[in-house]
A and B are shown apart, each in its own frame.
Chain A
Amino acid sequence: MSDSQEAFVSRAITGKKLLYLEGALGIVLGASFVIFGWYVLVIAAVSIALSVGVDFVFAKAKKQKIDESWLIFPLLYALMLPPSAPLWMAGVGVVFGNLFAKQLFGGYGRTIFHPAAVGIMFLMISFPALIFGWYDPEVFGWFNPFSQASLDALAPVMPLHQINAGGSSAWSLLDLALGSVPGNIGETFGLLLIALGTVLAVLKVIEWRLPVAIIVSYLITAGIFELFGATGGTIPSVFTGSLLFGAIFIASDPVHAPVNHKAIWIYGAGIAFITFIIRYFATFAEGFIFAVIIMSAVGALVDAWLTGKEETA
Chain B
Amino acid sequence: MNEKLNLMKEFTKGIVSENPIFVMLLGMCPALAVTATLETSLGMGLLVIFVLTLSNVLISSVRKFIPENVTIPAFIVVIATFVTIVRMLTQAYAPALFDALGIYIPLIVVNCIILGRATAFASKNKVLPSLIDGLGMAIGFTLAISLIGILREIFGTGAIAYGVYLPLGIQGSILNIDSPLFNIAILTGPAGGFLILAVLLAFFNSRKIKKAEKLKAERKRLAKEKRAAKAKEVTA
Contacts and interface: CB of A to CB of B under 8 A. Distances in A.
Interface string A109-136: 0000000000000100111101000000
Contacts of A122: 186
Main secondary structure of the interface of B (DSSP, over half): helix
B185 interface: yes
B143 interface: no
B181 A126 contact: no
A67 B189 CA distance: 33
Contacts of A126: 183-187
Interface residues of A, number: 11
Q: Which of B181, B186, B189, B191 gathers the greatest number of chain A CB atoms within 10 Å?
A: B186
B100 to A, nearest CB: 22
A130 B185 CA distance: 12
Contacts, number: 23
B180 interface: yes
A125 B180 contact: no
A220 interface: no
Contacts of B184: 92, 126-127
Nearest to A130: B180
A125 B186 contact: yes
A148 B21 CA distance: 42
A88 interface: yes
A298 interface: no
Contacts of A125: 185-186, 189, 191
Interface in A75-134: 86, 88-89, 92, 100, 122, 125-128, 130
A233 to B, nearest CB: 31
A92 B186 contact: no
Nearest to A124: B186
A92 B181 contact: yes
Contacts of B185: 125-128
Q: Which of B180, B185, B187 has the most CB of A within 10 A?
A: B180
Given A89-B180, A125-B189, A126-B186, 17 more contacts: A86-B180, A88-B180, A88-B181, A92-B181, A92-B184, A100-B195, A122-B186, A125-B185, A126-B183, A126-B184, A126-B185, A126-B187, A127-B180, A127-B183, A127-B184, A127-B185, A130-B180
23 contacts: A86-B180, A88-B180, A88-B181, A89-B180, A92-B181, A92-B184, A100-B195, A122-B186, A125-B185, A125-B186, A125-B189, A125-B191, A126-B183, A126-B184, A126-B185, A126-B186, A126-B187, A127-B180, A127-B183, A127-B184, A127-B185, A128-B185, A130-B180
Interface of B: 180-181, 183-187, 189, 191, 195
- Interchain residue pairs A-B with the least CB separation, the first 10: A125-B186, A126-B184, A126-B186, A126-B185, A122-B186, A88-B181, A125-B185, A127-B180, A92-B181, A125-B189
